[in-house]
A and B are shown apart, each in its own frame.
Chain A
Amino acid sequence: MSTEFVDNDRKPVGYGRMLRKEDPRFVRGKGRFIDDVQLPGMLHLALLRAPIAHGRILGVDTTAAEAHPKVKLVVTGAMLAERGLAWMPTMSGDVQAVLATDKVRFQGQEVAFVVAEDRYAARDALELIDVEYEQLPAVANVRTALDPAAPVIRDDLAGKTDNHCFDWETGDRAATEAAFADADVVVSQDMVYPRVHPAPLETCGAVADYDAVDGGLTLWCTTQAPHAHRTLYALVSGLPEHMIRVISPDIGGGFGNKVPIYPGYVCAIVASLLTGEPVKWTEDRSENLTSTAFARDYIMHGELAATRDGRILAIRTRVLADHGAFNGVAAPTNYPAGFFGVFTGSYDIRAAYCAMTAVYTNKAPGGVAYSCSFRITEAVYLIERLVDCLAFELELDPVELRLANLLRPEQFPYTTRTGWVYDSGNYEATLREALRIADYDGLRREQRDKRARGELMGIGVSFFTEAVGAGPRRDMDIMGLGMADGAELRVHPTGKAVLRVSCQTQGQGHETTFAQIVAEEIGIPPADIKVVHGDTDQTPFGLGTYGSRSTSVSGAAAAMVARKVRDKARLIASAMLEISVADLVWDKGSFAVVGDPTSCVTIQDIAMHAHGTGELPDGVEGSLEAQVHYNPENLTYPNGAYICVVDVDPDTAVVTVRRFVAVDDCGTRINPMIIEGQVHRGLTDGVGMALMEMIAFDDDGNCLSGSLMDYLLPSALEVPDWQTGFTVTPSPHHPIGAKGVGESATVGSPPAVVNAVMDALKPYGLRHADMPLTPSRLWEAMRGNPQPPV
């Protein structure tokens, strides 16, 4: 299965391990992140936030704040309402308050802002604003949100009398009911994927600079989707789109947190419009955790129907989704539950059905973030936990159960019972590679020995299929913007090139790998190719980076634009060599006459000729450049097999992740070094989510995890050395056969960790406990008191 990839030391052009072009600036402290941006006259904005989760605003007194000698401006919701800017559209067709006007709906919600000469003064002035609230009962527990007596959160919506957000279903209900009725075995399990937060190390921020002379707005902003943001600002603000320039500088991690438009961005723009000066807003960590896009919060009831010998027949699930106070889910318009529909996973299941209800609660908005690939984290967790529950009931080895049900290579392209068309996969080979690396049989022997001694060792397996690269514009859009991506390639006279792309790296290495894609296609060394991204004035339109869509969509665009340039270069080469194009052969980097390799011109020769005074073929213009806009025909479906080994201390319930084997198949591998780094990241996410991370609330809607003191992120001590492997099953529809991979490990690893812990606790007869499996929660579960996290 595996394909050899040569080191770029030996092969300087194209795919392979290549050190990153972006590293030299970062290791010198010369990256340029949002808070590094300093402009002449720049002012600082700070947001006043609600101290309670639900309450009516009776009055806001800003007199004392305005009197502060360093304060330039204080703005309340009422003042924004006069300008029609108190509310903004979300990416899911709902509206969200920029600054609260009538009432506050979650703790940490934006109520007013101050603009001052420096950030300390701005924070001082927040303390001087006096807001009078009439506290209302909060809906903190999603399970009670639809009770008739529950307070109505969204009374801003006309006629709204409850907290219902939307219903959604997929699959064939009748066929699924029938399959369950005939099954030998049915396992059902309630499980919660708790609310977590992507917590990029750099928080969100913006610098807005409105130029009153030309009416132009420049917005430096932590955005993963600069072009989409520009269009939305144009639609909301009324500023003409050509006068809005969004610049996404270096971004200190995104993980989906930096896809939505936040009130802070809008406030910074308003503040710059009103003051005529550049205005910077950077949130602190507690603001990031309590008010920006959370992830997950799916309360799931799952069921599997199977034969007694372990053939999975059908899957059925009900989901209660907590969306917070505003539906801010960043997902394609037709997919309010994202791609949760892939919950049939990697298995040949004949019937499937899901019914989902989403509700409003008095919590921050979000849902789709944290490398979830539009809810696939939840889908994979559901199926992979259910398969283990079935193995538990049938007393089967979870690997054997998976091997018996995995899709076979000849079934691809495979249409699931919920309508997803998986492009390619060789699942058994991928799983067997993981078993080989882990020495699975040896691990089971070790476990038998340890169990005999009373030690708790667990082995957890997960096999996942991802769906990334949104998406075909016939049915995927964000607020009406089709999910295609552009690329523009210019080759300069001396054969150096600039590639401009619409995706926006947040550390995933696009400046390196996109140069490698172009290098592979036209033979210019990656070092000679500059990759430009993040500036909407300079780059072609596209939807940005999230959902592991860069390689799948923008990467395809980069390959296609390079091929377009190569096609033109072939015409020019034919003129230079005075021979027909049919007699030219391409050898990466040059065109030669068939049968006469000494008669050749390099791409650099061609570039100079194209810009020079020499003859060009009829109809061919000078210069060597092209632009494409790539509309994918399908998503890509990378997959992987993960094996986690844990030890559990029987006295303290402390879980130690001892080993983790991850075998990923993302098709063609552009840069194995970078893929491995992406996988390491996601595996760490998995350990964090499974064992440590949760955004919790008390009954009054107070956020209990609003800082890194309580929202625990793994350090170097909580994670093991990762063992990675790979197989290569290219995507047949992708120009270079590459699939996305950035989120695979975040999607695939949490169930592997939980499965491992449950496997360790088999002697306790415990089949399931909800994440995070912190020592206290697990200790209770081991004593027969498993508690859901909310």
Chain B
Amino acid sequence: MTGLYEEIREEPAADVPVRRVSITVNGAKRTADVEPRLLLAHLLRQGFTLTGTHVGCDTTNCGACTVLLDGQPVKSCTMLAVQADGHEVTTVEGLAGPSELHPIQEGFSDEHGLQCGFCTPGMMLAAKALLETNPDPTEDEVRWALSGNLCRCTGYQNIVKSILWAARKLQSQAGT
């Protein structure tokens, strides 16, 4: 059941098995009955209405659907929702609260690291994973870490600057 009531169909439902999954999304436990074939990206977007995660391709190239699974970047279009059962998922909506911003979000805005905004959530999550393992990356390391995320608007340079901006801010925060 998803709400106060659930309508029961008179005709038999399609013969598709359903599995129950529990995923901690942005710190809150979410439980859902899903078809095993349901992609994690679709569960996040349609099921949990976390529409910041985007879908830009059908072959796992673009990275617009990147989320963090137990802190690791994964392309949520290439993972079944049932595979995330019992794991922690962070989406763009979990980067910061409504009033404050994560330094990566600030960096993207300050350095004009986004235009249409469609790749931005995936880019920022890939960046978060990078900075957690490598807090002081070189430009080349940033470019390598982003190579699974395509952007059609920025030409990447300002994205690189955004992430280096965030790295500096995070380091100065850690130092104080």
Contact = CB atoms under 8 A, between A and B. Distances in A.
Nearest to B97: A28
B76 interface: no
Given A201-B62, A252-B116, A284-B58, A19 B92 contact: no
Contacts of A253: 115-116, 118, 152-153
A123 to B, nearest CB: 10
A721 B140 CA distance: 11
A107 B148 CA distance: 29
Please name the 7 residue pairs, one residue from A and one from B, whose CB atoms are nearest each other, closest first. A29-B52, A507-B116, A680-B155, A26-B117, A252-B118, A29-B92, A507-B115
A448 interface: no
Contacts of B152: 199-201, 253, 255, 681, 713
12 contacts: A27-B92, A28-B98, A36-B45, A120-B35, A201-B153, A509-B115, A677-B158, A681-B153, A708-B59, A708-B61, A719-B157, A721-B139
B57 interface: yes
A496 to B, nearest CB: 22
A674 B52 CA distance: 23
Contact of A31 (B55, B101, B117, B158): B117
A201 B35 contact: no
A717 B144 contact: yes
Interface string B89-101: 0011101101001
B119 interface: yes
A322 interface: no
A250 interface: yes
B115 A29 contact: no
Interface string A753-782: 000000000000000000000000000000
Given A27-B109, A674-B112, A722-B155, A715 B56 contact: no
Interface string B21-32: 000000000000
A508 interface: yes
A680 B157 CA distance: 7
Contacts of A124: 14
B37 interface: yes
Contacts of A200: 116, 118, 152
A35 B52 CA distance: 11
Interface residues of A, number: 63
A20 B108 CA distance: 11
Nearest to B105: A27
B114 A27 contact: yes
Contacts of A119: 42
Interface in B139-168: 139, 142-144, 146-160
B120 A684 contact: no
A250 B159 CA distance: 20
A286 B58 contact: yes
Contacts of A678: 115
Contacts of A722: 155, 157
B118 A201 contact: yes
Nearest to A284: B58
Given A201-B119, A717-B143, A29 B93 contact: yes
A36 B142 CA distance: 30
Interface centre among A26, A38, A507, A684, by most chain B C-beta atoms within 10 angstroms, is A26
A28 B121 CA distance: 8
Contacts, number: 188
B50 A29 contact: yes
Contacts of B153: 201, 253, 507, 677, 681
A722 B157 CA distance: 7
A70 interface: yes
A29 B51 contact: yes
A69 B11 contact: yes
Given A19-B110, A199-B152, A255-B152, 16 more contacts: A23-B109, A26-B120, A27-B117, A28-B105, A29-B121, A33-B54, A38-B46, A118-B46, A200-B118, A201-B116, A253-B153, A284-B58, A508-B115, A674-B112, A677-B153, A681-B152
A255 B139 CA distance: 28
Interface of A: 19-20, 22-33, 35-36, 38, 68-70, 118-121, 124, 199-203, 250-253, 255, 284-286, 506-509, 673-674, 676-684, 707-709, 713, 715-717, 719, 721-722
B155 A709 contact: no
A201 B64 contact: yes
Given A27-B109, A716-B156, A202 B49 contact: no
B3 interface: no
A127 to B, nearest CB: 13
B14 A70 contact: yes
A715 B142 CA distance: 12
A38 B119 contact: no
A715 to B, nearest CB: 5
A716 B116 contact: no
A251 B143 CA distance: 26
B110 to A, nearest CB: 7
A19 to B, nearest CB: 6
B155 A683 contact: yes
A24 B91 contact: no
Contacts of A69: 11-14
Contacts of B14: 68-70, 121, 124
A681 B59 contact: no
A652 to B, nearest CB: 19
A124 B118 CA distance: 28
Contacts of B160: 716, 721
Contact of B109 (A19, A36, A674, A679): A19
A414 B14 CA distance: 69
Contacts of B59: 285-286, 707-709
B38 interface: yes
A680 B158 contact: yes
Contacts of B40: none
A714 to B, nearest CB: 8
A509 to B, nearest CB: 7
Contacts of B50: 29
A30 B112 CA distance: 17
A524 B154 CA distance: 29
Contacts of B121: 29
A508 B150 CA distance: 18
B101 to A, nearest CB: 7
Nearest to B14: A69
B93 A719 contact: no
B53 to A, nearest CB: 7
A25 B55 CA distance: 18
A24 B151 CA distance: 19
A35 B54 CA distance: 9
Contacts of B93: 28-29
B150 A28 contact: no
Contacts of A38: 46, 49
A684 B116 contact: no
Contacts of A35: 45, 51, 54-55
Given A24-B109, A707-B58, A708-B62, A29 B150 contact: no
